[in-house]
Amino acid sequence: MDSKVFVLCFCAVFVAAEAIEMNLTNEWKQDIGWEIYCSWRIPNGDSLQSVRLHQNNQQFLIFRPETDGDSRVLVTRRLTDVLTTNCALSKEDRQMGTCVLTFELYQPQKQGFMITCEVSGERPYFRMENKTIYVDKYVPSTDAALRVVSQNKDTGRVTLNCTSSGVPGPNLTWTILGQQKIPHDFTGVSWNATSKLWDAWSVLTYTSNADTTAVCTPEVSTAGRLVKGKSAEYNSAECSRGLVALIVSAALYLVLVR
Ligand SMILES: *[C@@H]1O[C@H](CO)[C@@H](O)[C@H](O)[C@H]1NC(C)=O
Ligand SMILES: *[C@@H]1O[C@H](CO)[C@@H](O)[C@H](O)[C@H]1NC(C)=O
Ligand SMILES: *[C@@H]1O[C@H](CO)[C@@H](O)[C@H](O)[C@H]1NC(C)=O
Ligand SMILES: *[C@@H]1O[C@H](CO)[C@@H](O)[C@H](O)[C@H]1NC(C)=O
Ligand SMILES: *[C@@H]1O[C@H](CO)[C@@H](O)[C@H](O)[C@H]1NC(C)=O
C-alpha cells in the first residue's frame, strides 16, 4: 500500500517535471504590425509530433515535421492584413523550435484577437501543452512632440501643434502648468499606413509669458484605465533663454576666434 502511494507520487512528480516547456509572446513591430512567437522545448527522449496554431479558436495551421520536414511557411492574405507564419525546428532532434507569426497590417486593427499555440509530443507519452495569448488593440503612445506654428512677439500669442502616435490615436490634453486643463482649438487623427499607428495632433493658441508653461499630454483609456504618455512642454522664457545662450556662445566664439 505504502509503496503504491510512493510510486504514484513519484510518477506525478516525474511527469510534472518533464512537461513540454513553451513560451508564447507578442511584440509590436514598427512599420509592420504584430509579431507573435511560440517556442517550445520537448523533454529528452521525446520529439515534436505537431504544432497547431489557432486564431480566435479556429485552427489555421498545423506543422508536422514528419510530413513537413524541418520547417513550414504559410502566407495568408486577408482583407485587413497578411499573416505570415514560419514554423521551424531549431535542432535536428526535433526537441526545440519556434513559430513566428507576422501580422502585417493593411488597415487599422479593429479589435483584439486571441492566438493559441498547442504543442504535442510523440507516442508513447502524448505530451501536450497549449498557451493562449490575447493581443489587444493597443500600442502605447509615442512621446508628445511640440512645434511652434506661429508666434507674435508683441502680443505674446503663440500657436502650438502637439503630435503623438499610437493605437488607438491618443487624446492630446493641454494644461498651463499649475492651472486647469484648457481646451484645444483644433484636433485631428489619421491612420498612418507606414507606421501602422494613428497620428494624432492638437493645436492650441494662447497668450504666453515667462511664467506660463504649456503642457501637452497624450492620454488613452484602455481596459478601463487612463494611460498617460510622456508630455511635451513649451515655455516662451526657455526659448528666449535658449536664444540668449546662443547669442552668448556666438559672441564667445567670435572673441575666441579673434
Ligand atoms: C522561455 O522563456 C524563458 C525566460 O525568458 C527562457 O529562459 C526559456 O529558455 C524559454 N523557453 C523556450 C522553450 O523558449
Ligand atoms: C489546453 O490546456 C489545458 C490545460 O492546461 C486544457 O484544459 C485544455 O483542454 C487544452 N486546450 C486544448 C485546445 O488542447
Ligand atoms: C499639426 O501637425 C499635423 C502633423 O504634422 C498636421 O497634419 C496638421 O495639419 C497640423 N495642424 C495645424 C493646424 O497646423
Ligand atoms: C507616417 O509615419 C512615418 C514613421 O513611420 C513618418 O515618417 C511619416 O511622416 C508619417 N506620415 C505622415 C503622413 O505623417
Ligand atoms: C478620448 O476622449 C473621449 C472623450 O472623453 C473618449 O470617449 C475617448 O475614448 C478617448 N480616446 C482614447 C483613445 O482614449
- Is the shortest distance between the CB of 127 and ligand 2 below 6 Å? no
In this structure, the answer to whether residues 184 and 125 fall within a common structural domain is: no
Domain membership of residue 6 (yes or no) is no
Assigned C-alpha cell, 44: 529528452
What CATH number is attached to the domain comprising 43? 2.60.40.10
- Looking at the structure of the chain, the number of domains it has is 2
In this structure, the answer to whether residues 92 and 181 fall within a common structural domain is: no
Assigned C-alpha cell, 24: 508564447
In this structure, the answer to whether residues 95 and 154 fall within a common structural domain is: no
Beta-carbon neighbour count of residue 63 at 10 Å?
24
In this structure, the answer to whether residues 123 and 151 fall within a common structural domain is: no
Which residue, by CA, sits nearest to atom 14 of ligand 4? Answer: 192
Query: Structure pTM?
Result: 0.84
Q: Residues 68-106: pLDDT tens digits?
A: 999 999 999 999 999 999 999 997 778 999 999 999 999
- Is the shortest distance between the CB of 39 and ligand 1 below 6 Å? yes
Q: Rounded mean pLDDT of the chain?
A: 88
Last residue of a domain, one of 80, 110, 135: 135
What's the CA dihedral at 119, 122, 128, 133 to 10 degrees? 0
Cα separation of 34 and 101, whole Å?
Answer: 8
Cα separation of 135 and 137, whole Å?
Answer: 7
Which residue, by CA, sits nearest to atom 6 of ligand 2? Answer: 130
In this structure, the answer to whether residues 124 and 29 fall within a common structural domain is: yes
Assigned C-alpha cell, 153: 512677439
Cis peptide before 43 (omega within 30 of 0): no
Domain membership of residue 103 (yes or no) is yes
Residues with CB under 6 A from ligand 4: 31, 192, 194-195, 199
Alpha helices in the chain (DSSP H): 2-17, 65-68, 236-257
Decide if pLDDT at 172 tops 60: yes
Cα separation of 235 and 177, whole Å?
Answer: 10
Strands of the sheet containing 197-207, edge to edge, are 145-151, 157-166, 197-207, 186-192
Last residue of a domain, one of 103, 135, 167: 135
Q: Residues 33-64: pLDDT tens digits?
A: 999 999 999 999 999 999 999 999 999 999 99
Residue 131 alpha carbon, nearest atom of ligand 2? 1
List Cα–Cα distances, 178 to 172, 174, 205, in angstroms. 17, 11, 18
Last residue of a domain, one of 89, 104, 135: 135
**What is the domain range of residue 90?**
18-135
- Is the shortest distance between the CB of 118 and ligand 2 below 6 Å? yes
Per-residue pLDDT, averaged over 165-172, amounts to 97
